[in-house]
Amino acid sequence: MREYKIPSPNRQHRDYRMPLIAIINVNAPLTASFQFRAGTVANSPVLLPLPDRGTTLRSLLRFCRRACPGVPILIPRIEKLRSGAPIDNAMAADCLSLLIAKAVKAHGLSMIPIIVVGHADGADLAAQLALRHGSLLAACILLLPATEASNVPLATLDGLHVLVIVSGCKEGCVSVGQQISNVLEELGAAVICERVPTRRSLGPYETAIARVFIATLFGEDWPPRSASMVLPGDVL
């Protein structure tokens, strides 16, 4: 396993050691909601899983627990957010940002780093969330993204860390992952792009890479080197 040397952004360290809330339910557009599953590791970041539409949430939750055992998990009810009239990822990302902002403000999570973990088309949504509302996130893990990202005018991702994992045997997947990496890097994000063997499901390679990525950012070197959070509607 290679050693990752992730650059530290020019941001002030902040104290993330804040109490976590057991259950989060928020009223937001499209009747989406969140559930918070408390972890067993103190002062750890929160993972926000965005599964592929073709797989179950349970499989991505299993991946998150293996990649970062004991971590708290913030679960958006995407099946509710995506129900009804079709919406694109940009609209879905805007809805997610409102949910995150309401949850953070209502339950005192503003000092807790959030890592979004997206798989396949969930990774496409995670990329849009980062591009449109990157200040809400500390880091992103994009697992096998399927769609190229569009640059968002005036977006800045300074201080955001991103891990992109692509299938090494699928040229289309590699080109999509590289395009997303280029877009995010141009906006200031620190991006690592890794290839893994083609598999039907997320396996040990993806798990090991994600574990090293998270541990490098939020391991023994505390506080974590993450972007400060700016909520929608805040005056800078």
d(CA 82, CA 70): 29
d(CA 48, CA 73): 6
Average pLDDT over residues 180-201: 88
Q: Which residue has the higher pLDDT, 163 or 151?
A: 163
Q: Which two tokens stand for residue 6?
A: 């992730």
Q: What is the domain range of residue 138? A: 29-218
For the chain, how many structural domains are there in total?
A: 1
d(CA 110, CA 12): 15
Q: Which residue has the higher pLDDT, 186 or 15?
A: 186
Q: Is 43 among the domain residues?
A: yes
Q: Is 87 among the domain residues?
A: yes
Q: Is 151 among the domain residues?
A: yes
Mean pLDDT for the chain overall: 75
Q: Is 109 among the domain residues?
A: yes
Q: Is 132 among the domain residues?
A: yes
Contacting residues for 123 by C-beta, under 8 A, at least 6 apart:
50, 142, 143, 144, 145, 146
Q: What is the pTM of this model?
A: 0.77
d(CA 21, CA 74): 10
CATH number at residue 115: 3.40.50.1820
Residue type, 116: V
Q: Which of 44-48, 58-62, 102-106 has the highest mean pLDDT?
A: 58-62
